Amino acid sequence: MSKFALLDCNNFYVSCERLFNPYLNNKPVVVLSNNDGCIVSRSNEAKKLGIPMGAPYHHYRKIIEKNNVTVFSSNYQFYGDMSQRVMDSLNMIIPNIEIYSIDEAFIRLDNFNSNHLTAIAKHIRSKIFMWTGIPTSIGIAPTKTLSKIANRIAKKQTSNGIFEIYDSYITDKIISNIPVEDIWGISYRWGKKLRALGISSALELKNTDTKFIRNNFSIILERIIYELRGLSCIDLNLTSNKKSIRSSKSFGKLITKIEEIEEAISNYTATACKKLRTQKSKTRGIYVFLKTNPFKQNEPQYQKSATLRFDLPTSDTGLIIRSAKNLIKRIYDNRYRYHKCGIMLFDLVPEKEIQSHLFIKYDEYKKDNLMKVLDNINKSMGPKTIFHASEGIKHEWATRKNKISQHYTTKWKDIPKIY
């Protein structure tokens, strides 16, 4: 039988903020998404006030102010850095981990004696807490899907933050209380369809005929059933390279001028290209989109996208910015007020595996070297020390971030001082 564990950081963004503001412990805290739009992380105290995950900030502003909830804008540089510290710590204890999201990792524990799993989890938790200050929970089970459920119980119903599912008797007892849409991989639409068929708990789904599910849904749901039965169908994914890279953001205000949109798309493109080079890949295509604000129902709505393929894969920010700006020019219509734009790089290939073109001479080496110089300067002297002119400096479209904390671990000037 396989053995999986899922490690999940508790209320991750809030926990990061508390590291450098310990007086916020035991007090309600929330962290907002980009543009201060939605609530994406809540302390347990904030959850108790009835503030739901993903809710628009302005809907809960009254409750937040009335209860003295501390509010932070998102500080992804900081959270990303803390995430890496957590994952590095975990990797020092156990090799071969799958970093599943900014605050979660799957681990395989097959090589350990079944009697020791909880002790190992305890060791992992305490080391990560000691080295990073971030509290975590660990769920252990024969499959990834069950380890997700075990993690949920570890978080909500245990005092030591660890829960292990090791036989089908325990599984059945636990999953009889889990609604289908709380299972990893099932959400609102499938949940609704399953309920209409009389399947409302995870246990009922586990006992449903797989052929029937395969015919009425897809292989994804069929696999979930096997996973609930303790038969592992989803292994660790150890390849870390992305298959597509996207950068998009809503503007801080509605934008009409194409010059400002071009400036914004140039910035997003530079961000995406930097990521592309970090994973040592090149892109064969780009997809650019532009849209109005769908929540403003009284305004005329517009949404358009365009794609472009390159004859030769590239990671040259200059070339990709030029191409992205051309696509923007093609889809821009001056009758609308815009809310968001973005770019996606797709069809990525490792830079080492690039095939030469029969008719086009490959002379990207110069550009490759230029990008290396650019990345190195920005790495040693700080982000955006040098940048492409089209990225501009005015940034009228920039997102709102009224309550951002300091970059405690990523900027020298923000490093905490003790007087």
Per CB under 7 A, residues contacting DNA are 33-35, 37-38, 40, 54, 56-58, 61, 100-104, 148, 183-191, 218-220, 237, 242-250, 268, 271, 275, 293, 295-296, 339-340, 342, 344, 399
Q: How far is the CB of 335 from DNA (least distance, A)?
A: 18
Q: Are 285 and 308 in contact (CB under 8 A)?
A: yes
Q: Among residues 188 and 412, whose Cβ is nearest to DNA?
A: 188
Q: Among residues 50 and 416, whose Cβ is nearest to DNA?
A: 50
- Looking at residue 380, the DSSP 8-state letter turns out to be H
Q: How far is the CB of 372 from DNA (least distance, A)?
A: 21
Q: Among residues 57 and 163, whose Cβ is nearest to DNA?
A: 57
Q: Among residues 112 and 135, whose Cβ is nearest to DNA?
A: 135
Helices (H), 253-305: 258-278
Token pair of 197, please?
Answer: 């068929």
Q: How far is the CB of 336 from DNA (least distance, A)?
A: 15
The residue count of the chain comes to 419
Q: Are 91 and 73 in contact (CB under 8 A)?
A: no
Q: How far is the CB of 303 from DNA (least distance, A)?
A: 11
CA distance readout (Å), 204 to 101, 177, 207, 229, 373: 29, 10, 5, 11, 58
Q: How far is the CB of 76 from DNA (least distance, A)?
A: 9
CA distance readout (Å), 97 to 89, 105, 108, 171, 399: 11, 7, 7, 24, 34
The SS3 call for residue 341 is strand
Q: How far is the CB of 398 from DNA (least distance, A)?
A: 11
Q: Among residues 27 and 85, whose Cβ is nearest to DNA?
A: 85
What are the residues facing 42 on neighbouring strands? 30
CA–CA separation, 76 and 40 (whole Å): 12
